[in-house]
Structure 1
Amino acid sequence: MYIPNTKALLIPTLLLSFASTAVAEGAPQGLPAEVITLKERAVNSNIYSIGTLEADESVLLRPELTGKIIAIPFQEGGKVKKGDILVQLDDAQYRAQVAEAEARVKQSDSENRRVEKLFNRGVGSETDRDGTQATMKINTAQLDMAKINLEKTRIRAPFDGITGLRQFSPGDYINAGSELVQLVNIDKMKVDFSIPEIHLLNVSVGQAFSIRLPSFPGREFVGKVSAISPVIDEKGRSISVRGMVDNKEGVLRPGLFAEVILTTDSKTALSVPEEALIPQGNQYFVYRVVEQKIDMVPITIIQRKQGAVAISGPLNSGDVIVTAGQLKLQPGSPVTPMFVDGSQPAPGAKKEAATEGASE
C-alpha cells in the first residue's frame, strides 16, 4: 500500500501559507534602500566676516607725577575693584605741602575775620577787607592743589578689571607718563568687523550674531550688535560694525581672532542629507517612498550647510526619502525601506491600528 510523504507535502504548504500571510500583512517587497523621515529645520541667511576680540574697557596706567615707588598692593593678573590703589608713590613731600597749605588757610581765615570786624565797626577800609578775602581764596586754592597732588601719588583702578604684568618694582624711580601696568575689563568683549555695503539694510543695533574661535573648536559664543559706523569705507566699500559678547566664564581674551556669523534672516525648510539628491541636468530630484514604491520628486535647493540641504518642492514633513541605493532604483519600482534615522514605525503598528478601527 502506498503511504504519501506527508513531510514533503507539508513544507510547500507552509511556505505558501507564510508567503500569503506576508503579502496580506503588507510585508516590504523589492530592493532594500536606506531612507529617512523628512523633517523641517531652521534655515538662516548669514553674513560671514572676521574680527579681533577687544576688552570692553582697557587702559594703560601712567603716573601724573615723578617719584619713587614705595608700594605695589595689586597681584599681577588679579582682579581689582574701581578705586583700589595699584601703585603708591613716595608722598612725604606732598603731605608736607598739604600741611603748609592748611596752615596758610588757617592764618588767612583768622586775618580775614579780624579785618571784617574792623570794617564792620567803620575802622578798616574796604581795600583791606577785599585784600584779606583774596588772600584766603588763593591759600584755599593752593590747599586744594596740594591735596590733588597728594592724591596723585596713589594710582588707583579707574574701573573693575584684571591687571596685567608689571615691569617695575618697589624702589624704582619713575617719571610722569611712564607706562606702569595695563588694566582691562573682560566681563564683556568687543568685536569689530566689517561687512559689504550691500548688506547695510540687513544689519541693525541689537541684532544677534555668533563667533567661532580657533582657540575653542566646536564652540560658538553669542553676541549682539552694539554700534554701526555712520561712515562707509570708500576703499573697501564696507561698513564697520561693533558687537558685544558676554564673557561671564572669563575664557575669552583680548586679541583673539574670531570668525563672525551675522544672521540676517531665519525661517524653516525641509532638509535632506546631501546624498539624497539626484542631479539630472540643471534639475535636482529626490526619491520619495509612497506605499513602498519609488516616486521621483523635483526639488529646488535653498541652502547647503555641513552636509545638510534645505529644499523646497511638492513634499511634506513626514515623507520618507531615499538617501542611499538610488542607482538600483527607478520610479515605480518596489522598495524595502531601511530607516537609518531611527524614525521607523513600530512593528505591527499599522496592523494594530487597523484592528482597532475594525472593532469600533
Structure 2
Amino acid sequence: MQHFYGLLLFILLVFANGCGRAGGTESAAATRRETAVRGVVVRVARAVERPVKRTVNFVGTLYGREEVTIASQVEGQVERIHADLGDVVTEGAVLLEIDDDAWRARLREAEANLAKVRADEERARQLVQENVISPQEYEARKTAAQMAEAQRDLLQVTLRHARVTSPLSAAVARRFVSVGEYVRAGTPLFTLVVLDPLKLRGDVPERFAPDLAPAQPVEVRVDAYPSEIFAGSLARISPASNPQNRSVTVEATVANSGGKLKPGFFANAAIVTKVDNRAVCIPQEAVMSFAGVQRVFVVTAGKAEAREVETGRRLPDGLLEVLRGVNANEIVAISGLSKLDTGVPVEIDGDVEEPGTASAGDL
C-alpha cells in the first residue's frame, strides 16, 4: 500500500511540473509575440542639411613675418645696451651704443683738415684768376677739398652708426653681445622678429594643389593652446612640386595680436577650400561600425532599414557628415541599434529629434 501511494505522489509531481513548463513556454512566446507587434523601442533623429567646410590639412612651423639680424657697422667697445631678450622695440629706438670717443676725435681732425684745404682752394681760385698758378694746380687743390669733405661726411656717418637703432618695430629674439665687449664691423648684435602677423610654412600633398588659391581662410591650432583656433589666410603657393615628397610648399599669414603664438611653434592647419552648404548630417550615435563597415538604420513606415554609409567630417555639435547612404529629412535610429536589422518593426520613443542649425563659421 505504501508503495502504491508513493507511486501516485510521483505521478502527480511529474504532471504538475509539466504544466508549469508549458505555462512558461506560453509566457515567453507571448512576450515575443508582443515584442513583434510593438517593435523595438528606439529614439530617432532627422537627417539635416548643414554647411560643412571642405579643408586641406597640413602641418608646419611658425616664423616671424620679418626676422632681422642687426650687425655692427663700426668697431669699438660696447658702452651701453638698451634692449634685451623679449623686449618690444619701435622703429628708430636705440638698442646699443658703442664707445665713440675715437671716432669723434677723427671727425674733429677731418673737419680741421677740411677747413685747411678749403682755404687752400679759395687762395688757388684767386691765384688762377691772376694767372699766378696754372688751372691744373687749381683743380688739384679743388679735388683735395672735395676728398676732405667726403672724408668728413664718412666719419659723420660712422659716428651715427655708433648708436645702433632698430630698423623696424619688432621684438628682440636674441642678444649676442655684452657691455664691455669689443666688436668689429659685421659683428652680430641682435636678432629682431616681427610677431604680428606670423608666417606659417608647410607642405601640402600635390594632389590638392588644384584646390588651393591665395586668400583662402586657414585655421591654425598649436599644442600650447589646444582649445583655441587662430585665424589666418593663405598667402603664397609654391609654383613647383617637390619631387622628393610630392608636395607643394604653402605659406599662410596668421594673426597674433595677443602675442600667444611664438616663432618656432609646431602647428596643425586646415585650409578652407570651400563650404558645402547642403551637406547631409546625422547624430554621431546613429552610426554603428563593425568590421570596418559603417551602418545606420533608416526608419520607414515603422520598420528599420539597414544601410551602409560613407561618413565625412565630425562637427563640433555632435553631428557627423554623411557622404553617401542617407538623404536629407530621412529618419534614423539613434538608440537600440544592436537590436535592429532590416525589416525589424520599431516603435519611436518620443518625438523625432531635430538637430539645431549652425553657420559655417561655427563648424
Q: TM-score, normalised by structure 2?
A: 0.75
1:1-360 alignment runs, 5 A limit? 31-166=40-175, 168-268=177-277, 269-277=279-287, 286-288=296-298, 293-294=302-303, 296=305, 300-301=309-310, 303-305=312-314, 308-312=320-324, 315-317=327-329, 319-329=330-340, 331=343, 333-338=345-350
CA deviations over 1:236-275 (Å, ceiling 9, x no partner) = 2221111111111111101111112222332131101333
The offset of 1:102, in angstroms, is 2.0
The offset of 1:179, in angstroms, is 3.5
The offset of 1:290, in angstroms, is 6.0
Structure-1 separation of matches of 2:313 and 2:96: 57
CA deviations over 1:49-72 (Å, ceiling 9, x no partner) = 211111111123332333211111
Alpha-carbon distance change, 161 to 286 in structure 1, aligned in 2, over 3 angstroms: same
Identify the residue that residue 6 of structure 1 maps to in structure 2: none
Alpha-carbon distance change, 225 to 66 in structure 1, aligned in 2, over 3 angstroms: same
Alpha-carbon distance change, 151 to 341 in structure 1, aligned in 2, over 3 angstroms: farther
Structure-2 separation of matches of 1:316 and 1:166: 61
Identify the residue that residue 352 of structure 1 maps to in structure 2: none
Aligned residues: 314
Long gaps (5+) in structure 2: 1-37, 357-363
* Contact residue 46 and residue 352 of structure 2 kept, 8 A: no
Alpha-carbon distance change, 297 to 251 in structure 1, aligned in 2, over 3 angstroms: same
Alpha-carbon distance change, 285 to 238 in structure 1, aligned in 2, over 3 angstroms: closer
CA deviations over 1:101-132 (Å, ceiling 9, x no partner) = 22222332333233234434555421122112
Structure-2 separation of matches of 1:75 and 1:195: 37
Identify the residue that residue 13 of structure 2 maps to in structure 1: none
Q: In angstroms, what is the RMSD of aligned CA positions?
A: 3.1
Alpha-carbon distance change, 103 to 341 in structure 1, aligned in 2, over 3 angstroms: farther
Structure-2 separation of matches of 1:194 and 1:294: 49
Identify the residue that residue 21 of structure 1 maps to in structure 2: none
Q: TM-score, normalised by structure 1?
A: 0.76
Long gaps (5+) in structure 1: 1-28, 345-360
3-state SS of paired residue (2:145)? helix
3-state SS of paired residue (2:110)? helix
